[in-house]
Amino acid sequence: MRDVHLRSTLTGIEYPFDRLEEFAENGESLEVVMPGIEKARARPGDRTWDRFAEFMPFEASHPELSLGEGSTPLVDAGPALKEYTGIDGLLLKNETMNPTWSFKDRGSIACSIMATERDETLTATISTGNMGQSMAAYGARAGLGVLVFLPDFAPREKILAMAVHGARVFRIGGADYAEMKSRVLGLAPRFALRIVSGNGPIRAEGYKMEAFELFEALHGSVPDFVVVPSSACGHIRGLFKGYRELLAAGLVSRLPRMVVVQAAANSPLVSAIRTGSRTVVPFRDFHTVAEALTSGKPPGGEEILAKAYEYGWLAEDATEEEILDSQLRYARSGFFVEPGTATTLAAVRKLRAKGAIGKDDRVVIVLTGSGLKDLDVFRLHAVEVLDCPVNGLEGRLESVLEEERRT
């Protein structure tokens, strides 16, 4: 089942697998085509990458490049979140437990394998933070030079984390994120540089592994909905591609319906899906606390719209207030996620309230990134700390305990 190649996702134009540019000339996103996928089988092995090697386009599974990504827990959401959303079968796939605390690590190992198998020594990425940090870590592991281009609003924790892994970080001022992205991507051919964005075909292959893990964790049954906060859209389409390939191989009998979630302040896909548009609704000069969801005009986003209509996906947004409230609700249930991730809770609650999701449906929300990655947001949260001098501790403790025992 070699003969692997790339194909544009709307009009089916074919390209070689090792094409440097991540999109077709006409702007469509590309995906990896694996002839013979119908015959692919899961086989025994310790790592998911070994068990699903026949579903992957690489020559080998390269455990030496791994930082231990994946195999993240799928956990019951707990009573408070189930009650809040009105969904009894709510599950959380906790991707904050990856090596750099977001699902981006799954795509980064795929990019690192791709570069290594092609003897490339440098890789580059455009990021608002999480992807740059992840690529920096995986580049360090693989011995690749890493260049990161990021907008000047990226949070300090993420910038520092990239630099500490040894990446060359370019903080780019004076451009809106979408504009900056297209300018940087345009430089790839001139410098013969593989610049990986959030929606490249190789990165999407890494995200397939999430579907394989869900397949195993749910013993072959398929959730009704998988909820993904989306920006560049590599994640949602990669995860869905994993399921499409499981279906093609006859390992599952149906596909889950995906739920696209965005911040209301920047919802190029959700706004389009609401009106049935086949082109994304561009957003500019927006501000949102969900800074991981910053693609105002995601390249290749039309593929997501086409899939949404073809497969009956849902779409919902969350306002700034709902995002902050959801972040606290997740935290009060034990899950500390970043604001971009928190969009999902409010969105799922609204979809349930509208009847789009049923009470008894099995719903998996992907917790995409850790709350520790963006501490600046705590300006907006009232988190209480009790300051008290050591001499006053006993009295203070007494009154707090009284309060606690009353509630």
- 261 close to 292: Cβ distance less than 8 angstroms: no
Whose Cβ is closer to ligand PLP: residue 9's or residue 130's? 130
Rounded Cα–Cα distance for residues 377 and 248 (Å) = 43
- Edge to edge, what strands does the sheet with 5-8 contain? 14-16, 5-8, 30-33
Would you give the binding string for ligand PLP spanning residues 274-313, x where CB under 6 A is met?
------------------xx--------------------
User: What are the φ/ψ torsions at residue 267 (nearest 5 degrees)?
Assistant: -130, 60
Whose Cβ is closer to ligand PLP: residue 40's or residue 260's? 260
Residue matched to tokens 């300018």: 183
Would you give the binding string for ligand PLP spanning residues 354-373, x where CB under 6 A is met?
--------------xx----
Q: Closest Cα to residue 341, out of 272, 264, 263, 239?
A: 263
Whose Cβ is closer to ligand PLP: residue 57's or residue 229's? 229
Whose Cβ is closer to ligand PLP: residue 88's or residue 336's? 336
| Window of 16-24, 37-45, 226-234, 387-395 that interacts with ligand PLP by CB under 6 A | 226-234
By CB under 6 A, residue 242 contacts ligand PLP: no
- Cα→Cα distances 333→76, 82, 168, 324, 361, Å: 11, 10, 38, 14, 21
Q: Which residues pair with 123 in a beta bridge?
A: 146
Whose Cβ is closer to ligand PLP: residue 51's or residue 93's? 93
Q: Which residues pair with 148 in a beta bridge?
A: 125, 169
Q: Where are the beta strands (DSSP E) in 264-323?
A: 314-318
Q: How far is the CB of 340 from ligand PLP (least distance, A)?
A: 4
Whose Cβ is closer to ligand PLP: residue 67's or residue 233's? 233
By CB under 6 A, residue 235 contacts ligand PLP: yes
Rounded Cα–Cα distance for residues 33 and 37 (Å) = 9
Q: How far is the CB of 374 from ligand PLP (least distance, A)?
A: 9
Q: Which residues pair with 32 in a beta bridge?
A: 6
Rule CB under 6 A: choose which of 57, 139, 155, 234 binds ligand PLP: 234
Would you give the binding string for ligand PLP spanning residues 157-176, x where CB under 6 A is met?
--------------------
Phi-psi region of 174 (alpha: psi -120 to 50; beta: other; left: phi over 0): left
With CB atoms as reference, the residue minimizing the distance to ligand PLP is 369
Q: How far is the CB of 3 from ligand PLP (least distance, A)?
A: 28
Alpha carbon 95 to its chain's center: 9
By CB under 6 A, residue 201 contacts ligand PLP: no
Q: Where are the beta strands (DSSP E) in 134-185?
A: 145-151, 168-172
Which parts of this chain interact with ligand PLP (CB under 6 A)?
102, 104, 130, 198, 229-236, 292-293, 338, 340-341, 368-369
